[in-house]
Amino acid sequence: MDETKIIRKCQQGEMSEFAVLYDRYADKIYKFIYYKTSHRETAEDLTSQTFFKALEAIGSFNSSRGKFSSWLYRIARNLVIDYYRTKKNIEDISDIWGLSDDGDLAVDLDVRQNVQRVREYLGNIKPEHREVVIMRLWDELSYQEIASITGKSVASCKMSFVRAMARLREELAYVMAGIILLINNLF
């Protein structure tokens, strides 16, 4: 069914139709939030809050101002910002290490190490560029959607992405040169 029709039905009081929107976007919003929080329970809570807020405010959604997905990501982004504003400095040790009783610890550790490497690379670029890169590559959003979420122009989003990728390529080339030098010195 067409998303516009589903939204219209929700706005007319048929809230059961919202389940279709939830099914369509829940995984994407969860991944978006998880990347920003690195904590499963927090991502689950904020994802739930995102959809609850969207359901409450569906009557105010106006498709002439942008896509539903952009509106939903903006809600999620604002909740993440609010989460970090109110976050306490003290954390539970199990939260820091991400320990869980279920799952393969070796696989979890490998995934965490790879995510940490990506974060290190992304940590070296400007926050506004990093946000665009994450939305473009991780969330697979269009520049138009990113512009709508961030309140920037499409051109600005494209430029941020290009500059960030150039910076990452420079850094990767530097790292690769160091590895090659190390290998050459070993042999």
> For residues 14 and 23, is the Cβ–Cβ distance under 8 A?
no
pLDDT recorded at residue 50: 96
Neighbours of 110 (CB within 10 A): 11
- Tell me how many degrees the CA angle 31-29-69 measures, rounded to the nearest 5: 140
- DSSP tag of 14: -
Q: Rounded mean pLDDT of the chain?
A: 80
Sort residue 62 into left (φ over 0), alpha (ψ -120 to 50) or beta.
beta
Q: What is the pLDDT of residues 130-168, one digit of tens each?
A: 888 888 887 788 899 898 888 889 999 999 888 888 887
Query: Residue 187 is which amino acid?
Result: F
For the residues of 18-86, what is the DSSP string, one character each? HHHHHHHHHHHHHHHHHHHH--HHHHHHHHHHHHHHHHHHGGG--GGG--HHHHHHHHHHHHHHHHHHH
User: What is each CA distance from 90 to 93, 95, 100, 102, 115, in whole angstroms?
Assistant: 9, 10, 19, 25, 23
> Over 60: is that where the pLDDT of 99 sits?
no
Question: Residue 29's closest CA among 11, 9, 45?
Answer: 45
Q: Yes or no: say if 22 and 51 are a contact pair by the CB < 8 Å rule.
A: yes
Mean pLDDT of 58-69: 88
* Higher-confidence position of 66 and 60: 60
What pLDDT band is residue 97 in, cutting at 50, 70 and 90?
very low
Sketch out the chain's domains with CATH numbers: 1-99 (1.10.1740.10), 104-187 (1.10.10.10)
Query: What's the pLDDT at 100?
Result: 42
pLDDT score for 174: 67
Worst-scoring range by mean pLDDT, 56-65, 106-115, 119-128?
106-115
d(CA 38, CA 23): 22
- Provide, rounded to the nearest whole percent, the portion of the chain with pLDDT above 70: 75
Q: What is the pLDDT of residue 140?
A: 81
Does the pLDDT of residue 187 top 70, yes or no? no
With pLDDT > 90 as the criterion, what percentage of the chain qualifies?
Answer: 31
Give the CA radius of gyration of the chain.
Answer: 20
* Average pLDDT of span 92-98: 40
Return d(Cα 32, Cα 42) in angstroms, integer. 12
* The token pair that represents 132 in the structure block: 């665009």
pLDDT of residue 27: 92
Whether 176 has a pLDDT exceeding 60, the answer reads yes
Give me the mean pLDDT over the 32-43 stretch.
87
Q: Which two tokens stand for residue 22?
A: 């939830």
Mean of the pLDDT values across residues 72-100?
69
